[in-house]
Structures are given as C-alpha cells and as structure tokens.
Structure 1
Amino acid sequence: MARRPTIADVAQLAGVSRATVSFVLNDRPGVARATQERVRAAVEKLGWIPSRSARALSTGRARAVGLVLTREPDLIGTDPFFPAFMAGIESVISETGDGLMLQMSRPGDEVETYRRLAADRRVDGVFLTDLRVDDVRPALVDELGLPAVAVGAVEGGAHLPTVNLDDRPVVRHAVHHLVELGHRDIAYVAGPEEFVHARRRRQAWADALAEAGLPSGPVLPGGFTAEGGARATQALLARATAPTAIVYANDLSATAGIAVAQDAGLLLPDDLSVVGFDDVPLASWTRPPLTTCRANPASWGRAAAQALLEVIERGTTADVELDPATLVLRGSTGPAPARGGR
C-alpha cells in the first residue's frame, strides 16, 4: 500500500518549511502569494489531508460541537425530532469540517458530563436542548467558559444566545380550529412537566380554551412517547364523558393515540379528532393523515449550528427567532360528533 502523504512531503515538494505549510493552510498572514500558491498546488498534487488532531493543536480548537441528551437512549431512537434536528446541524458543520459529538447522560450525571467535556476540550461549544424550569445549565456553561446556544426560550433571565420558535400561537390556532368545528370537550396529552416548551404548549392550550369561553378540559401526561400517548388516550376514552378532540404535545404520542382510538372501535375524525405537534414525516402517512403543528426540526438544527459556530468564533451572536410554526390541516380533524352518536 502506498504511504499516505505527510506535511513534510508537502513542504518538500513546495520547497518550504513545515511551519510555512501550516501558516498557509491556517490562513495566517505573512506568507507571500507565490509561496501560498506553491503550497496549495503541492497539497492538491499529493492529495494531502491534514490530521484533525494536528489541526486542533495548531488552531486551539477541537473542531467539534456537542449535544448532551438527558433522556433514556431508547426514547431518543423513537423520537423523530432529534434525528431531524441533528441532520440540520450536520448540514451546516459538514461545510466547516466540524463534527457533532452526541453524549448521552443520566439526569444525575448531567452536570459532570458538561464539566468533563469542558475539561477535556473535546468540544468547542454545546447546544442546550430540552430546557427545563430552573435549569442549571445556562449558569454552568457560563462558569465553565463553554460557548453555548440555547434551543428554545430560556427562563430565569439567563444571558445566553437563543434559537427560539414561539410554539404558543400555533397551539392556540389548533384549539380554535377544533372549536370552529364544534368541539367543546377538548383534552390535552402533555409532554414532561419539567420542560419549558412542554409547559408552554399546555398553557397555550388552556389559554385558547379560555379565549373561546370553554372550561379547561382534562390533561394527562404523555411524556412525548408513544407509550405515554397510548396510556393517556386509553384513560381519556374510558372517562364517563370522553372528549371529542385531543391535542397532543408531539406527533409520536398522537400517532399512538390514533391507534388506541381505532382499536377501541372509533372512527377518525367522525368520532374523535386528533392534533399533534412537530409534523414529522410519518404524520402524513397515518390513517387518517395527522393534523399537526409544523415546527421543522431540521431548520432548528441549521439555525442552532450557525449560531453556535458564530459564538465559538466571535464570542457572541444575536438571538434567532425562527419562523412561527404553522397548522397543517389533514384528515384527523373534523366536525364534532353529536353526543348521542358516541
């Protein structure tokens, strides 16, 4: 097998020192244009690719960004949001030569995970997702001097660049859509209560009912999971007066809810209307197709990656407000059934 070319080979072919090669490839000033051209021509001729570890040493960067997820690993695999979010990140960092380090963490180990990433200099910055009420991470990354971008609204006045999408208007729009269809008993299957965005969506549902002059319907936890959505739907349908419509905190729990309702002999949307959140690819393939709130996780990933790279390079960046989520009307919502028909 042919030996891989080295920086010494590039230097020899260009007739310069290895230090000069390094200066040229890292765009440092002080090298004559003709010398730069010789070095780049030698790199191209030899097909030399710089070592990531060597480049990290020369630039002081790890050339990686971090995403710490404090959820059960099997839930990550079933939640369609994060694959799309990470694909958005990759579409940006692949152009810069950076990598994405995904770190799984248990709730009790989370702080130590961030401390270890900072101490080992394994990443140049991190994304903070699943922001929680009284979240310690904004203050922690500030203490560690670790560049970070928050994905979603931050509570508590933390000074941290954010990439946010206000999901409250679209949830209110979904409820008003159901009210216009004649629904008066509209339940909600909520995400984890500790997450800021889960609380915001639940509050938007409650606010929309109040705006319509309707009492707050039943709320059950769904946990953003299929199992949680299924359990909550079974409990709602077992009530003496079952709801005619259910709004779910995400599409995964809504999809499971559709299956439970159909197993119980209900027709959608004749007997029950269902609304999800996210608009994952599967949403348009359920039967009936799922009415949902489109948030575009890939665009979140792209915007978050661009913001984090700017924080790493410049120390700061402006907050980003993404385009509002939109309500996508499909076949899972329809006129409210007559109470005698259920």
Structure 2
Amino acid sequence: MDASRPTIADVARVAGVSKGLVSFALNGRPGVSPESRTRILAAADELGWSPSIRARSLSADQSFAVGLVIARDPEIIADDSFFPSFISGVEQVLAPRGQSLVLSVVPDEHLEEATYRRLASERRVDGVILTDLRSNDSRIALLGDIGLRAVTLGRPDTDATAPPAVTLDDDLAIHDAVRHLVDLGHTRIAHVAGPDRMVHAAKRKASFLHAMADFPQAQPVVVETNFSAADGARATSQLMSASAPPAAIVYANDAMAIAGIGVARRAGLDVPSQLSILGFDDSAIGRYIEPALTTVATDARGWGFTAADVLLRLVGGESVNDVELQPARLVVRSSTAKAPGEPA
C-alpha cells in the first residue's frame, strides 16, 4: 500500500469526526447530518482521498456500482437532451460516494433483458435505475426474479410488486400549455407524441387530449413518433401537408420541437406568427435558439440526483417510499403567439 495515500483516518482527522462517521458519509448511509456530510466530503476532496473499490467490494460484498440500461436507438439518445442532464444528476450523487455508473445502450428489448441478467449474474451492480417504463412492463417482474434492486422513473402500470418510484406530475403543466394556446386564439392544435407503448409518452398524450376536451372549440390532432428529432421533423411535415394544417403544435420533447421549427421555416412559415411551437423538457439549447422555445420545464438533473440517492438508500438497507418531485411548469418564451387572424 502507498504510505502517502490518504486514508479514512486522515479524512476523519481533518473533518474532526470519527472514522465510523466518515465511513457512513462516504457510503451514503443514514445517520449523518447534512453539515457533517458536507464537512467530510470537503475534507476528502482537500486530501485527494479516493476509495479502494476492490477492498470495499471484498469487505462489504457489494460492487459499489449502479446500472442504467437504455433500450433506444443510439441516434435517438444523441438527439435527446434529457439523458445527458439526467446522467449528470446521477453522477452528482455517485462520484462523491465512490460509486460508479455502469451504462449500457442497447438497440432492443431482447438485449436489454440479457443485459440485466448479465449484470445480476456477474454482480456488476448493486441496483439499477429503470427508465422508459412500458405498458405492462415485464422488466418489473424480471428484476424481482433475478434479485436486482431498482428504482423506477414514474410509476409502472403493471400488477407486479413495483420498486420505489421517483415521480413528477406534468398533467397541470400540459393543461396550462393547452390553455396558453387557446388563450392566444388557437383552435387547430396538434400534439407530436412519443411512442404510445411508453408510459410517460402515453400519459402526456392523455393529458393533452384531456386538456383539449375542456375547450370544445379546439380541434386536437395527434401524430405518434419515436421521440427522435428526425421523426419529429417527419411528423411536422405530415401535419403541414394536411388539408387543414394546425396553427399550433405541442411536441413531446424539445428536440422534436426544434426540428419542427426548422421544417416550418424551410416550408416558408414564420414561427410564431404563422405557426406556434411548444416543446417539453426545457433543454438548454431551446432557450437560445430564435425564437426561444416555449416549453414545459422538468428538472432532468433533479430526476437523476433523486433516483441515484433513492437507489443508494435502498441498497444500504433503508425502507424507501416513492418520491414526488416538484411538478412540471409551463415556461412561455417567443415561439408561441396569437393565432393567425387574431388581433395582436
């Protein structure tokens, strides 16, 4: 062992606490006050302390890693601003606690299931974060069968015993988005939705249709996509070529909304005077394009931070309940305006 390498005893001395409390703080265990945890993490950073993962794994019979398996086309992942922000939030929890993220992006559900089985059999991870919940999601039962702890993003609609969930209510924000467009005089309003088999995409579509039902003068149209920018562009072209094209479009993510702005402009339409466009997620790039994107804001980094924290608490033996994040909210910028023909 390198004698110059700082130890937990050194961290305890600098932080002015016991070695036991340092161990609890660095492993994300309960029983450490926020002030003590902050002081301990600062001392570890000052000393350049890093954990010996091999020694910790042998002594604690843990891998000190969590898994994230995403079954999507890699090109769709590249388009979507949600996952980089989400992973940033996850790492914000894992890195200070000496934990690692094992990320796998697979093209289909068959390889996804095989990946979960491999992670469990090889004891590569102590638990997983389950994203993109599906209708009657078979992964819930699978993870229970192979003994992998899990936390889900959103509540599954399956009858199987579900793990703890991190949830966010976006129903009111979507209703606010529809009301915003109706208040601007829009009646022909379309929704470019995600794949219906994904619980969160189906929920957003249902919220849109439910909100539209409150305004009998409004005429809803829905086009389903795979969440990619390319499919958002395809859906926009389809809507623009209809005999009665919409004057406003609500997209299920910002990437598709930004692609929609490009399609509209190439077709000679002005956004927003001739077509209002509204996104979902509040990605950073949407704030700086012209026109700046009106969107439904969610906290992707907060999703990741909370999901990782809940999972580590679960791995540490705590009994964990569902966690509700702050609800989504409508952010009005300059990509929405009065419907064509309405007074300015």
TM-score (norm: length of structure 1): 0.85
1:131 match: secondary structure: coil
Q: CA deviation at 1:78?
A: 2.1
Residue 189 in 1 paired to residue 192 in 2?
A: yes
1:224-253 deviation line (CA, Å, top 9, x unaligned): 111011001111111111101000000000
Give the counterpart of 1:114 among 105, 113, 116: 116
Map 1:75-154 → 2, pairs under 5 A: 75-105=76-106, 106-154=108-156
Q: 1:232 to 1:54 in 2, by over 3 A?
A: same
1:189 match: secondary structure: strand
CA distance in 2, matches of 1:24, 1:165: 33
Aligned to 2:73: 72
Structure 1 stretches of at least 4 aligned residues deviating more than 3 Å after TM superposition: 3-7, 22-27, 46-50
1:15-49 deviation line (CA, Å, top 9, x unaligned): xxxxxxx999967xxxxxxxxxxxxxxx9xx9885
Q: Which stretches in structure 1 are left out of the alignment for 5+ residues?
A: 11-21, 28-42
1:88-120 deviation line (CA, Å, top 9, x unaligned): 000011121101110122322221111111111
Identity %: 44
Aligned to 2:27: none
2:296 match: secondary structure: strand
Aligned to 1:60: 61
Q: 1:146 to 1:240 in 2, by over 3 A?
A: same
Aligned to 1:292: 295
1:62-93 deviation line (CA, Å, top 9, x unaligned): 01010000011222122110000000000011
Contact 2:53–2:98 (CA under 8 A) maintained in structure 1: no
Q: CA deviation at 1:223?
A: 1.8
Aligned pair count?
A: 309
Q: CA deviation at 1:338?
A: 2.2
Aligned to 1:335: 338
Whichever of the two has the greater Rg, that structure is 1
RMSD: 2.5
CA distance in 2, matches of 1:294, 1:303: 17
Q: 1:26 to 1:272 in 2, by over 3 A?
A: closer
1:241 match: secondary structure: coil
Deviates more, 1:151-160 or 1:165-174: 151-160
Residue 166 in 1 paired to residue 175 in 2?
A: no
The aligned amino acid for 1:51 is: S
The aligned amino acid for 1:84 is: S
Aligned to 2:267: 264
Residue 233 in 1 paired to residue 236 in 2?
A: yes
Contact 2:189–2:218 (CA under 8 A) maintained in structure 1: no
Deviates more, 1:290-299 or 1:138-147: 138-147
CA distance in 2, matches of 1:103, 1:143: 20
Contact 1:5–1:48 (CA under 8 A) maintained in structure 2: no
Aligned to 1:249: 252
CA distance in 1, matches of 2:79, 2:184: 32
1:217 match: secondary structure: strand
Aligned to 2:16: none
CA distance in 2, matches of 1:197, 1:73: 20
2:243 match: secondary structure: coil
1:236 match: secondary structure: helix
Contact 2:168–2:326 (CA under 8 A) maintained in structure 1: yes
Give the counterpart of 2:209 among 186, 206, 212: 206
Q: 1:64 to 1:246 in 2, by over 3 A?
A: same
Contact 2:294–2:333 (CA under 8 A) maintained in structure 1: yes
Q: 1:201 to 1:24 in 2, by over 3 A?
A: closer
Q: CA deviation at 1:53?
A: 1.5
1:249-296 deviation line (CA, Å, top 9, x unaligned): 000000000010011111111101011000000111121000000001
1:148 match: secondary structure: strand
Contact 1:183–1:335 (CA under 8 A) maintained in structure 2: yes
Deviates more, 1:300-309 or 1:313-322: 313-322
The aligned amino acid for 2:134 is: R
